[in-house]
Amino acid sequence: MNTQDTICAIATAQGGAIGIIRVSGPQAISFTNRIFTPVGTNTLPLSERKAYTLSFGQIKEDTGEIVDEVLVSIFRAPHSYTGEDATEISCHGSAYILQRVMQLLLKAGCRSANPGEFTQRAFLNGKMDLSQAEAVADLIASSSAATHRLAMNQMRGGFSKELAALRDKLLHLTSLIELELDFSDHEDLEFADRSELREAATAIEKLISHLAQSFKVGNAIKNGIPVAIVGETNSGKSTLLNALLNEEKAIVSDIHGTTRDIIEDTVNIDGIVFRFIDTAGIRETHDVIETIGIERSFQAIKRTDIVLWIIDQTKADQQISNLSSKILPACSDKSLILVLNKSDLNTTSSSIGIIGLPENTRVLSLSAKFKEGIDKLKKQLVEATHLPAISQADVIVTNARHYEALTHALDAIHRVQEGLQINLPGDLISQDLRECIFHLNDIIGEVTTDSVLTNIFKHFCIGK
């Protein structure tokens, strides 16, 4: 990637009152100055103005026609987001104005930035490590208090500090073992006490394992807690989905088998994002399409953490008898909530005497049609997540790439433990220690290839 040219991009979404264009690179200030005319008593060119100042003026065409009145912010290397000279042009949010200013910058010598190129330059210039750079995208995409806290902690270096502490311990072990190798002629010389090495390796294994295990929670928080809505046809599954989303997302009909495919949507409840999956009604059918939909219903149960089994209270005993043998085995490791729907019909509900209910199964009566009891259901959903309270100080892995690297590091430290247990030669143990360090370094970008960087930053928005 060429980091010697100067890039520019619109950094704000369309439709706002204000639009911002970012410029970064060796010629950022001089290129901006070519299209900028100061207004007022201060007529100094931008290149002669101090960093961290705002300059009021006009963006003009070559003909002298005014495009807009703007404010220009000036940043000088290395004290900027990218570590380069940079400017930000704040103008009115008109799509025409923003595009016209971009065209003038390109004519002045800038190049249009690629997705994530500003953050990529910040990484390459040492302003942040790779895990922090990836957290920028997570912060932009955060849709709940929990995802915001996790992204902010990672961007501020919380995860990096944990990795740095691990690497220091691993490097200490490696240095002790390799020091012995340097004096291999002295067979009785031992710098690293094997019992102390085993204790240190065990402590490191616990730390890496803890980080890797946190990915289950982190991934759920980041992508939403999956919740499957299952039950017989016409039990009110789609009506409940619409009530939870507060919109008419799914088609509701008295005709059995209306929902034949998976319908998904998310909603934020008390700072936690839930991803609801409305499934096809489960019943005996000879309809080929409906059968496929029912198969997908059970597939949905497998990939979710919480299951809402919707039961029509007017037919509770019958529906429980029909489906308990099919649904309960699939929910043995899930949080199950039995939702007794249609409470508005004032029927006598079943005693819900089901044998084999998973431990801590919750039971709730409501009317999805009239949205009575929805708040209670939301409270039970939050309780069913069993998520720990999240603060900006918590280090929880949310990135699949980081999780993969941690699992490789965990495999390597397990080999170290096994090697120490059976008294393998020091050079073999040292090799596994260095492999563990390699995978931790991969997370923060110390051994990352250009292809990996390209794959990471191509998912960023342009302007960031």
Nearest CA to 134 among 120, 148, 147, 115? 120
Structure tokens at 315: 């037919």
Long-range contacts of 287-293 (CB under 8 A, 24+ apart): 287/257, 289/260, 290/257, 290/260, 292/260, 293/259, 293/260, 293/261, 293/262
CATH topology of domain 136-219+399-445: Four Helix Bundle (Hemerythrin (Met), subunit A) (1.20.120)
CA distances from 408 to 171, 203, 205, 233, 404 (A): 17, 17, 12, 45, 6
Residue 405 in contact with residue 442, Cβ under 8 Å? yes
Sequence spans of domains, the chain: 7-127, 136-219+399-445, 224-385
Which of 113, 153, 160 lies closest to 136 in space, CA to CA? Answer: 153
* Overall size of the chain counted in residues: 464
CB contact at 8 A, 115 and 125: no
CB burial of residue 382 (10 Å; 0-12, 13-18, 19+)? middle
The pLDDT value given to residue 189: 47
Per residue of the chain (464 residues), what is the pLDDT tens digit?
667 899 999 999 888 899 999 999 999 999 999 999 999 888 899 999 999 999 999 999 988 899 999 999 999 999 999 999 999 999 999 999 999 999 999 999 999 999 999 999 999 999 998 999 989 988 988 888 888 888 888 888 888 888 888 888 888 888 877 776 655 555 554 545 677 788 888 989 999 999 999 998 888 888 888 998 888 878 888 888 888 988 765 544 444 444 445 688 888 888 888 998 887 666 555 555 555 666 766 677 788 889 999 998 888 888 888 888 788 888 888 899 999 998 888 655 555 656 567 777 898 999 988 989 999 999 999 999 888 777 767 788 989 999 999 999 999 999 999 998 888 887 888 899 899 999 999 998 876 677 778 878 887 888 88
What pLDDT digit, counting tens, does each position of 301-316 carry? 788 889 999 998 888 8
Task: For residue 371, give the 3-state DSSP assignment.
Answer: coil
Q: pTM of the full predicted structure?
A: 0.76
Domain 224-385 is found in CATH 3.40.50.300: yes
b/e burial code for range 105-124 (CB count within 10 A of at least 16 → b): beebebeebbbbbbbbbbbe
Collapsing DSSP states into helix, strand and coil, what is residue 333? coil
Domain over 7-127 is classified CATH 3.30.1360.120: yes
DSSP-based three-state secondary structure for 335: strand
- β-strand partners of 57: 38, 70
Residues with Cβ within 8 Å of 157's Cβ and at least 6 positions away in sequence, in order, are 128, 129, 132
The single-letter code of the amino acid at 79 is H
Is beta strand 272-278 parallel, antiparallel or unpaired with respect to 263-269? Answer: antiparallel
| DSSP secondary structure, 116-185, as one string | THHHHHHHHTTSS-HHHHHHHHHHHH--SHHHHHHHHHHHTTHHHHHHHHHHHHHHHHHHHHHHHHHTTT
Residue 4 CA to residue 166 CA, distance in Å, equals 35
